[in-house]
Structure 1
Amino acid sequence: MLMKKIYVIFVIILLGFPIVSAASSLKTYNAPEGATLNDKFKVFVKLTDKKDWTQIPSYMIYVDEVVDTKHHVRNSSMATFDFEGSVEVKIVCRAENINKAKVRPLSYSISHSIVNDSTLMFRLDKPANLSVEVNDDIFGNLHLFANPIDKYNISENSKDVVYFGPGVHEFKDGVYRIESGKTVYIAGGAVMKGQMLIENVHDVRLIGRGIIDPKVKMGIRIANSRNVYVEGLFATQCATGGSENVTIRNVKVISYYGWGDGMNVFSSRNVTFDGVFCRNSDDCTTVYGTRLGFEGPSCNVTMKNSTLWADVAHPIFIGIHGNPDKPEVLENLNYINIDILDHKEKQINYQGCMAINAGDDNLVRNVRFENIRIENFRQGQLLNLRIFYNKKYCKSPGRGIENVLFRNISYNGDNAELSIIEGYNEERGIKNIRFENLKINGELIYDEMPGKPKWYHTGDMGGIYVGPHVEGVSFVKSDLGSLGDA
């Protein structure tokens, strides 16, 4: 009888049934001497079942505020730690009393409490990249990056690893060039005073919990490389050009200067962004063809489980750059499980939380936007799909946009301007655009929705203009059980 019981347990383990672990851990990092800090917030964290709090450093970072068409650099804050299990967070605001507060993304439903007018407290049960905002201040906020535990177990004695430990690291020409076959580890508590350059190499890992200094523009650059993995770091930008088989996971980028795009993709294939956070002074994430010395189309690009915040321009932008002398196809692009916290763009030509503007004879096809939650952005459009000829950036209009799916998209707010879907001419049009479970301020927008007059276009009910040279636009309702937070 005993042998039979042992056998059953063994079979259960082999079949992959989950084994519950009660393990919990917390890892924090001291700021190195010479790092620039911001004392607006004092940040503390502890395991839920422990008594003692640990203070973590709040770094000075910079964001962009546009006021009356002018850019202004604002001081902001960033703090980071690693954990597994459950933690409590305590944030003391030293600059003002806390009358109200938000912990975003709102879809995470993180409840919080205000204690003694100056202290905000909440609990986290899983890693998250957050914006903590006091008294509606979205510029002097705290960016709190609660990472999963770093389990690499890398130290300065690890073999085949270039190790940068806690401290400030400077480079003679402001650039650190990573060699093929290398793992570069930047430990928590390390601040890099230079760009991390992955160029003309292969089989590279750039990992850790360190910081590329917020004053370093284009903190991470991947160019003409293959088999690249980047994880866990903070920088201003992380661009990929002329490369293939690139994975960028849990990387946070925040920029404040002109043309400070977050995570560009130029002429690249098989690029995955997973769990990233982008707050940028230009487009958060883009997919282009030929541009800036990189040649060829882009394909098989996926961004998932991520958070986007565009202080200027688009959260998601596709299609404007290519090679009209040798027309390109940008295809198989996926944006899945994303929170868009903000979009601010006064220029109508550059609006759209989800924008596909085909230029330079590009054909953009097979694009999927799924489970995307859009909060009440400041100014712009929900979406903008156009065959685009902007002489400032293009040599010709695009060839077309085809096969775009918007599934489980939600917008809650009152600042969206009129969205646009518009082709260029009979030869350069848009076709096969499907909206499935589009939800605006709690209302599902679909062709047979109640209250829609038969003579109305469905887009009229959602503030979406469907213009000329567009065919095959549908708005449908499917299984609402798949909507989730959307």
Structure 2
Amino acid sequence: FSLEKPANLSVEVNGDIFHNLHLFANPLDTFKVDKKNPDLIYFGPGIHRFEGGEFRIPSGKTVYVAGGAVMMGRMLIENVHDVKLLGRGIIDPSVKMGIRIANSRNVYVEGLVATQCATGGSDSVTIRNVKVISYFGWGDGMNVFSSRNVLFDRVFCRTSDDCTTVYGTRLGFEGPSSNITMQNSTLWADVAHPIFIGIHGNVDKPEILENLNYVNIDILDHKEKQLNYQGCLAINAGDENLIRNVRFEDIRIENFRQGQLVNLRIFFNEKYCKAPGRGIENVVFKNVSYTGNRAEISVIEGYDAQRKVRNIRFENLRINGQIISDDMPGKPKWYHTGDMARIYVGPHVDGVSFLNTFEK
């Protein structure tokens, strides 16, 4: 077959998703390597090993990992600024947390393949055309902890836990998260959630997670047997977090193996939280489509009269080709519209609407 543009593909024979070929057809690499540039650190084709199992990138440096280069250690961007990590090489699959961005600003990462790429305590981070594949327990792909102004563009995640998350205080990082965008990307969760927001925060100094955007996303799979951890598009507010201004737009969800389409809950998960969250507000699902027959019942549920889910709008939600709306034909007047999409709207929820704007 031929490709007309760059793409991240899964080539499967007879539906076998565990012996498939992940084919990453990259854009042409236009980076010009100038080995005389003192601010360039170049790793050519071959195997590279590092003392202590990691390579620390200094401030002001550009690190280029050429195609054919295999890094046998973690690429660490910590307590630095104005850093670029580029190339077409890979970080060996034995390296957990292959790329770690911590307490840094003005960071740009592009083109590499790793097991994980996490961002914590950082500001102004762009992660573009990075591919992560994990296979170990708690193998989240692209976490965000206590960070601001993070952009994921054209990334691919196939993970053994959540593909991408946004949290507040967690694992030594402190503070809220805001202005996080993932766009033009592909997510495949062999376990847990493709998109997960909100479970971790600071109960002593409550935080707000806000202005989170997921645009033009393909979700290929979701497989989670535990009912408490289901949801392709999941916002679970814990640890006194308030989560607001979240947008899911132009998202295509394939017939995943097991789980829920949507899970919005304010809850107290005693295993991971010290308190329930404060609220979930102003969430838009626009042009979200699901094609399949395996989705379990989705859930939207608050906690109590003070900890509510408010202002949830579904715009052009399409289930197997049918748009679900408050005025859709064939819906009995006494039905909640969510019943038509197998979305349970529970107590302590205000302002859920289902709109069909194609007919306006």
Q: TM-score of the superposition, structure 2-length normalised?
A: 0.99
Aligned partner of 1:260 in structure 2 is 139
**Alignment equivalent of 1:441, drawn from 320, 342, 345:** 320
Cα distance in 1 for partners of 2:44, 2:184 equals 29
Q: Give 3-state SS (helix, strand or coil) of 2:50's partner.
A: strand
Give how far 1:153 is off. 1.5
Code of the residue aligned with 1:293 in structure 2: it is: G
Code of the residue aligned with 1:224 in structure 2: it is: N
Aligned partner of 2:270 in structure 1 is 391
Aligned partner of 2:170 in structure 1 is 291
Contact 1:254 1:279 in 2 (8 A): yes
Q: Give 3-state SS (helix, strand or coil) of 2:357's partner.
A: coil
1:275 aligns with 2:275: no
Q: Give 3-state SS (helix, strand or coil) of 2:162's partner.
A: coil
Cα distance in 2 for partners of 1:403, 1:134 equals 42
1:379–1:348 CA distance, 2 compared to 1 (3 A)? same
**Alignment equivalent of 2:294, drawn from 411, 415, 418:** 415
Aligned partner of 2:127 in structure 1 is 248
**Alignment equivalent of 1:165, drawn from 14, 23, 44:** 44
Cα distance in 2 for partners of 1:413, 1:158 equals 53
Point out the more displaced range, 156-165 or 337-346: 156-165
Cα distance in 1 for partners of 2:202, 2:115 equals 28
Aligned partner of 1:93 in structure 2 is none
Aligned partner of 1:239 in structure 2 is 118
Cα distance in 2 for partners of 1:310, 1:389 equals 24
Aligned partner of 2:356 in structure 1 is 477
Give how far 1:158 is off. 4.1
**Alignment equivalent of 2:71, drawn from 192, 210, 215:** 192
Aligned partner of 1:147 in structure 2 is 26
Question: Which structure 2 residues correspond to residues 205-354 of structure 1 after superposition, within 5 A?
Answer: 205-354=84-233
1:404 aligns with 2:283: yes
**Alignment equivalent of 1:360, drawn from 239, 249, 253:** 239
Cα distance in 2 for partners of 1:388, 1:300 equals 24
Give how far 1:388 is off. 1.6
Contact 1:437 1:480 in 2 (8 A): no
Q: What CA RMSD, in Å, does the superposition of the two structures yield over aligned residues?
A: 0.9
Q: Give 3-state SS (helix, strand or coil) of 1:148's partner.
A: coil
Cα distance in 2 for partners of 1:159, 1:187 equals 18
Cα distance in 1 for partners of 2:10, 2:311 equals 37
Aligned partner of 1:126 in structure 2 is 5
Cα distance in 1 for partners of 2:257, 2:32 equals 43
Cα distance in 2 for partners of 1:480, 1:193 equals 55
Code of the residue aligned with 1:216 in structure 2: it is: V
Cα distance in 2 for partners of 1:290, 1:447 equals 38
Q: Give 3-state SS (helix, strand or coil) of 2:77's partner.
A: strand
Q: Give 3-state SS (helix, strand or coil) of 1:460's partner.
A: helix
After the TM superposition, list the runs of 4 or more consecutive aligned residues in structure 1 that deviate by more than 6 angstroms.
none
Give how far 1:167 is off. 0.4
Unmatched 5+ stretches in structure 1: 1-121, 482-486
Cα distance in 1 for partners of 2:4, 2:241 equals 44
Q: Deviations over 1:7-39 (max 9, x none)?
A: xxxxxxxxxxxxxxxxxxxxxxxxxxxxxxxxx
Code of the residue aligned with 1:431 in structure 2: it is: R
Code of the residue aligned with 1:245 in structure 2: it is: S
1:408–1:169 CA distance, 2 compared to 1 (3 A)? same
Contact 1:382 1:417 in 2 (8 A): yes
Q: Deviations over 1:174-211 (max 9, x none)?
A: 00000000000000000000000000000000000000
Cα distance in 1 for partners of 2:169, 2:73 equals 27
**Residues matched between the structures, number:** 360
Q: TM-score of the superposition, structure 1-length normalised?
A: 0.73
**Alignment equivalent of 1:376, drawn from 255, 261, 281:** 255
Cα distance in 2 for partners of 1:151, 1:401 equals 43
Code of the residue aligned with 1:282 in structure 2: it is: D
Give how far 1:251 is off. 0.1
1:137 aligns with 2:39: no
Cα distance in 2 for partners of 1:147, 1:480 equals 39
Cα distance in 2 for partners of 1:229, 1:206 equals 6
Contact 1:336 1:372 in 2 (8 A): yes
Q: Give 3-state SS (helix, strand or coil) of 1:459's partner.
A: helix
Code of the residue aligned with 1:204 in structure 2: it is: V
Q: Give 3-state SS (helix, strand or coil) of 2:339's partner.
A: helix
Give how far 1:156 is off. 3.7
Aligned partner of 2:333 in structure 1 is 454
Give how far 1:479 is off. 2.7
CA radius of gyration, larger in: 1
Contact 1:155 1:163 in 2 (8 A): no
Code of the residue aligned with 2:33 in structure 1: it is: I
Q: Give 3-state SS (helix, strand or coil) of 2:300's partner.
A: strand
